[in-house]
Copies of this chain bind each other. A is one copy, B any other.
Amino acid sequence: MIYFVTSNEGKFREVKEIAKSYGIEVEWLKREYLEPQGNDLEEIARISAEILAKEVREKFFLEDSGLFIPALNGFPGPYSSYVFKTVGNEGILKLMEGVEDRRAYFLAVIAFWDGERVLTFKGRVDGRIAHEMRGERGFGFDPIFEYDGRTFAEMGEEKNEVSHRRRALEGFFKYLKGLENL
Contact = CB atoms under 8 A, between A and B. Distances in A.
A85 B97 CA distance: 19
Nearest to A33: B36
Nearest to A47: B34
A7 to B, nearest CB: 13
B36 A35 contact: yes
A143 to B, nearest CB: 18
Interface size class of A (residues with CB under 8 A): 20 to 34
Contacts of A86: 72-75, 77
A39 B37 CA distance: 12
7 contacts: A39-B82, A72-B86, A72-B91, A74-B86, A75-B82, A75-B86, A79-B79
A87 interface: yes
Contact of A36 (B34, B72, B83): B34
A95 interface: yes
A94 interface: yes
Contacts of A95: 87, 91, 94-95
Contacts of A74: 86
Nearest to A44: B37
Given A35-B36, A72-B87, A77-B82, 19 more contacts: A34-B47, A35-B37, A36-B36, A37-B79, A37-B82, A72-B86, A73-B85, A73-B86, A73-B87, A74-B86, A75-B83, A75-B86, A75-B87, A75-B91, A77-B86, A79-B79, A79-B82, A94-B95, A94-B97
A138 to B, nearest CB: 21
Contacts of A78: 82
